[in-house]
Amino acid sequence: MMNQEKIQELVSRSQQDDKRAFALLVSEFQPLVFRLAFRLLCDEEEARDITQETFVKVWLSLKTYNQKNRLST
């Protein structure tokens, strides 16, 4: 698990359109998002779709993300 400082660095880089940094964030948080979605939906395919949609929305809204909040929220 990445420490908060590394996560903040990757978020900052992602906010500057660094796709590699964002890919690292996705790699870090994707299992967590998928497990939560699967637990709620009890459907693997739906959980995968929701996980993908979640990260698309994160990418699209990163410019307005306030780093005072934890990314995991």
Give tens-digit pLDDT for 28-62.
999 999 999 999 999 999 999 999 999 999 999 99
Going by the DSSP 8-state scheme, the letter that residue 9 receives in this structure is H
User: How many CB atoms sit inside 10 A of residue 25's CB?
Assistant: 21
Asked if 49 and 56 touch (Cβ cutoff 8 Å), the reply is no
- The better pLDDT of the pair 6, 63 is held by 6
Amino acid identity at 2: M
Cα-based torsion angle of the residue sequence 56, 53, 55, 32 in order, rounded to the nearest 10 degrees: 180
Residue 2 pLDDT > 70: yes
Q: Percent of the chain having pLDDT more than 90?
A: 81
Q: Tokens 């978020």 label which residue?
A: 11
Going by the DSSP 8-state scheme, the letter that residue 63 receives in this structure is G
